A and B are shown apart, each in its own frame.
Chain A
């Protein structure tokens, strides 16, 4: 019995290895086909799978539209979708695979900064452009010596930009001089926002009274909120994700903290309203990539197309994914050839690309220059407040 089992296992292993080889062969031979291959390196499983899946839904919609209109350069676009398990080493693995096996001309993704950094070295080595639509961390496109990473691009603004915008908004628009900060210290994203807010706000003349932290997955924030309340801030900056922010705002209002709450794009989810309730979500302002209330024709068209295809309303990740795919197609078109090197040059020279999330140009650090939207929650519903051009 033992022996047959061992034999069976050995066989199973052999088969898996062999089928793997077979799959690899077919992967490499499709080069002369008349499609342009684009790799998707996304978090389709694991702890941030929602971001990856949302981005991919947006990308697929965009590519469907492009293919329906005859593709680009007379060729159809073929998406090769690979999962990176929300793990940075796996993202490197997928990146290598897409570049060397599937021979894609460009890679889209991953959705988070950490995984994008993981996916970066193979893209650089294989000289394949890699573009993320939501890796907001500042050093994604620039290395620690301040040198720009040649093949890495992003189409979303930096974390620091959101923090700076909010500091300006709090000081100049809301005219509030005393702020408290409460941030998720397990999140690189929240830390990025917090750091730039902390730097900008005092330089404008504001004062940061207290700086407190929480950790993702916590549910009781009363202690830390009581502490914040005792310093009597006029405004609280809470960079973080909607799961905790919903609870924080709710508990803050219960404790009688009625001052405005400021945040970033992590607030953007219908779940925020489910977690906090309608009554507590007032005087909440956050920076975001786009406003679903925008009445520009391309935004309306996108929203309708997305609703028709997926049966639900588009969120910011969907919109960013959609723009990302269109942005790449635009670059391939301008490059005139489906060649990674030329696409990279075309990407770097993008000027005034019109997307759903606003028009964007790529600066010398491969970051986009684009407008940021500030939304206000009124009874739990996001209302478009203002759009700040860079």
Chain B
């Protein structure tokens, strides 16, 4: 198949047009800094959700440590850009690499575990990262790291989101991606068919951590202040909620979930008393009436003409 076929050219055009529209509206003043902030926040959430979806949705490894990878990325980029004064691109790459190394280190011992046990182990990993950050005075300890240069903007965020979605989407459609889906469906059967389950689980964990690290770098260099408890257990749950809300095993679901939940959160700013109640009710209704999430495991047509490629082959 040619790389520059009609579909791909159209996708690239669509991506560029969306970018151009937002840039244009920004210059015209329609998109002010408030909308921009929320666009960037949505972008960061999309990267986090899509990368966690690769681990939890497609490979079936229940991870509660995603915020820890984000935290590692945020701190790495914070150190690189604020303490060492290097450019943002170095910060992003360092964040992604360090986070993925952490992914390998945590992946090798814990991925022997399954289901609940893995969830507990990743939860523990998240706490370890938090405690290390709290006790390390070089990065500010519990006080947090302040005055990180504000490099993140719409352009960086948008193209990193596109990169994340592009790589993970293509990974899933590849030979390796199918191996991962096989692991999710039935690990023993997959192993019997010659899939190296340990290798793939660690690979997926590393890729997920890589992108979570990028999201962390964007976060740190946008909000310019990070502290260990910003990336606690609740942050991991927030990301997981986006993934489940959008649909486990659907990238477009994760994107829609990230957008929808970010918008809901913004609109509820005015009613603090009921904020968490309404948020919870919305999640509750979705889970009762649509337990598979908004998209289930189906992709939007824009992304996948065949549809249902990643379908469940029966009960889990």
Contact = CB atoms under 8 A, between A and B. Distances in A.
Given A44-B275, A117-B146, A117-B225, 20 more contacts: A16-B260, A16-B263, A20-B263, A20-B266, A20-B267, A23-B267, A45-B275, A45-B276, A82-B269, A89-B230, A93-B266, A96-B37, A100-B32, A100-B34, A114-B229, A120-B225, A126-B33, A139-B143, A143-B146, A191-B143
B34 A187 contact: no
Interface string A263-303: 00000000000000000000000000000000000000000
B290 interface: yes
B275 A121 contact: no
Task: Summarize B's interface: helix, strand, loop or mixed.
Answer: helix
Given A118-B223, A120-B225, A93 B41 contact: yes
A13 interface: yes
A143 B224 CA distance: 12
Contacts of B101: none
A188 B144 CA distance: 8
Task: Summarize A's interface: helix, strand, loop or mixed.
Answer: helix
Interface string A19-35: 11001000000000000
Contacts of A232: none
Interchain residue pairs A-B with the least CB separation, the first 9: A83-B272, A44-B272, A188-B143, A117-B225, A188-B142, A144-B147, A100-B34, A96-B34, A100-B32
Contacts of A120: 224-225
A117 B142 contact: no
B223 A121 contact: yes
A186 B134 contact: yes
Contacts of A125: 33
B219 A89 contact: yes
A45 B150 contact: no
A84 to B, nearest CB: 8
Interface string A81-118: 11101011110111011001100000000000110011
A13 B225 CA distance: 31
6 contacts: A5-B290, A82-B272, A89-B41, A114-B225, A121-B150, A121-B223
Contacts of B24: none
A88 B227 contact: yes
A185 interface: yes
Interface residues of B, number: 41
Contact of B144 (A82, A117, A122): A117
Interface in B182-209: none
Interface in B260-295: 260, 263-267, 269-270, 272-273, 275-276, 289-290, 294
B225 A81 contact: no
Contacts of A144: 82, 146-147
A192 B143 contact: yes
Which interface class (under 10, 10 to 19, 20 to 34, 35 or more) fits A?
35 or more
A121 B34 CA distance: 13
Interface string A134-145: 000101000111
B40 to A, nearest CB: 10
B38 interface: yes
Interface string A339-380: 000000000000000000000000000000000000000000
Contacts, number: 114
Interface in B211-252: 219, 223-227, 229-230
Contacts of A93: 34, 37-38, 41, 266, 269
Interface in B34-55: 34, 37-38, 41
Contacts of A19: 267
Nearest to A46: B276
Contacts of A100: 32-34
Contacts of B270: 23, 82
A89 B223 contact: yes
A320 to B, nearest CB: 20
Interface of B: 32-34, 37-38, 41, 82, 134-135, 141-144, 146-147, 150, 219, 223-227, 229-230, 256, 260, 263-267, 269-270, 272-273, 275-276, 289-290, 294, 296
B142 to A, nearest CB: 4
B86 to A, nearest CB: 16
A385 interface: no
Contact of A94 (B223, B256, B269): B269
Contacts of A6: 294
Interface centre among B229, B256, B267, B290 (most CB of A within 10 A): B229
Interface centre among A81, A93, A126, A143 (most CB of B within 10 A): A93
B33 A122 contact: yes
A23 B263 CA distance: 13
A88 B225 contact: yes
A20 to B, nearest CB: 5
B131 to A, nearest CB: 8
B294 A9 contact: yes
Contact of B269 (A2, A97, A186): A97
A17 interface: yes
B284 to A, nearest CB: 14
Contact of A118 (B33, B38, B225): B225
B41 A101 contact: no
A121 B224 contact: yes
A88 B230 contact: yes
Contact of B289 (A5, A88, A121, A126): A5
Contacts of A87: 230
A64 to B, nearest CB: 19
Contacts of A17: 263
Contact of B143 (A5, A13, A137): A137
A255 B206 CA distance: 50
Contacts of A88: 144, 223, 225-227, 230
A45 B141 contact: no
Interface in A192-244: 192
Nearest to B256: A13
Given A92-B37, A93-B41, A96-B33, A83 B223 contact: no
A13 B275 contact: no
Contacts of A23: 267, 270
Given A89-B223, A186-B134, A9 B33 contact: no
B139 to A, nearest CB: 12
B227 A97 contact: no
